[in-house]
Amino acid sequence: MIPDAANTPEHAGLSSQRLSKIDGWMDRQVEGKLAGLSVLVSRRGRLAYERHAGFADIARGLPMAADSILRIYSMTKPLTSVALMMLYEDGLFQLDDPISGVLPCFQDMHVYAGEGREPVPAERGITYRDLLTHTAGLTYGFMSATPVDAMYRDQGVDFQTADRTLAEVVELAATLPLLAQPGSAWNYSIATDVVGHLVAVLSGQSFERFLHDRVIAPLGMMDTSFQVPPEKIGRFAANYVRGDNGRAALLDDPATSLFTMPRAIASGGGGLLGTGRDYMRFCRMMLNRGTLDGERLLGRKTVELMTANHLGGDMASMGQARFSESNYEGIGFGLGFSVMLDPARAQILGSPGEFAWGGAASTAFWIDPAEEMAVIMMTQLTPSSTYPIRRELRVLTYQAIVD
């Protein structure tokens, strides 16, 4: 899906002149904030805009390019959710089933009740829907916001760096108290890593194998995997943080990165690497309601269910503003994606029904069915809250619509 001189943005209802505003914005980002940046905009089945600026690796002088491989971190979550929903379509579970029927380690969960108090029994079991919507009561250790987060850190519940198996880390997490009663609150969490383990148990395959064979390979995402193989390390981007002078400072060198080494665990919540073009194929499949180039991964009604809001309100009404890859006001959550409810409340451009997510290294995507549009931003700066670049790019892409 490469821009063609005979296939102009105007054919997709976009203005070439107005899209060119993205050029200057990208150049400003890589001059003072980001090492490198890629932006892809697709509308009505056409890749209307693709540009790369700056460096994938500053020290080695490697420019950001169409084939640069980047850490997509939590943009792994939507693919993992799709994998589970493929098994849902196989009739292996219902969304309101307790996961303890498959994972007995979650049979008798307890909920944190406060410092010095004994955890209280969970009022009900964690369901598949709870995991997919981040309302299971699980958390992340890196948030450092609650005593339960600290328990995760102390016990080594970390799916990025663990040298144990996926099953072992999930079972360890099940021994710790929940942060909230299942279904009662939205908390960004390891839930999608548990989803990955469920995929493995339900399918009888490793999670990594199922995801590759049933999602990644059928979509032709040739550079997407949990490990950068030796022959592709030359295309692997460095990861950065904001340095003392405001410029990008090295965080993870691609030559020595854990992502180049075999690991015991495949993180469904944040372990994948890939290119912007690969991820656009996933976005196009979702925009096409489950199919791409003759390969159908999901039924149309399943995609509609996944991209509907399942919270009953927005994230602000169900969660504490601790961490997420989205705003809380005016944004709901579906089965693996944030869902736009009200752009005015969210204070960002968009359409009701748009679904999206991002990653810890400032990558992001959104899919707008009303506008038949998908946008991907790929960069490598941790954490994702460093600069408001996602909001800025939204303005620049939506202002280019002219039909």
Structure tokens at 160: 């990025």
Q: Which residues contact 229 (CB under 8 A, 6 or more apart)?
A: none
- Burial of 3 (C-beta count, 10 Å sphere; 0-12/13-18/19+): middle
Q: With CA atoms as reference, report the closest residue to 48 among 15, 3, 17.
A: 3
Domain 81-208 belongs in CATH node 3.30.9.30: no
Domain limits, the chain? 9-75+222-398, 81-208
Question: pTM for the whole thing?
Answer: 0.96
Q: Are 231 and 115 in contact (CB under 8 A)?
A: no
Amino acid (one-letter) located at 250: L
* C-beta separation of 381 from 251 below 8 A: no
> Which positions ≥6 away from 65 have C-beta within 8 Å?
52, 56, 235
Class of domain 9-75+222-398: alpha beta
Tens-of-pLDDT digits for all 403 residues of the chain? 445 555 799 999 999 999 999 999 999 999 989 999 999 999 999 999 999 999 999 999 999 999 999 999 999 999 999 999 999 999 999 999 999 999 999 999 999 999 889 999 999 999 999 999 999 999 999 988 899 999 999 999 999 988 899 999 999 999 999 999 999 999 999 999 999 999 999 999 999 999 999 999 999 999 999 999 999 999 999 999 999 988 999 999 999 999 999 988 999 999 999 999 999 999 999 999 999 999 999 999 999 999 999 998 999 999 766 666 667 899 999 999 999 999 999 999 999 999 999 999 999 999 999 999 999 999 999 999 899 999 999 999 999 999 9
**How many whole angstroms separate alpha carbon 128 and alpha carbon 134?**
10
Distance CA 172, CA 170 (A): 5
Dihedral angle of Cα 161, 135, 133, 109, to the nearest 10 degrees = 60
Rg (CA), the chain: 20
- Could you give the CA distance from residue 366 to residue 218 in angstroms, rounded to a whole number? 21
Grouping H, G, I as helix, E, B as strand and the rest as coil, residue 269 is coil
Q: Residue 392 in contact with residue 25, Cβ under 8 Å?
A: yes
Structure-block tokens of residue 242: 């904001």
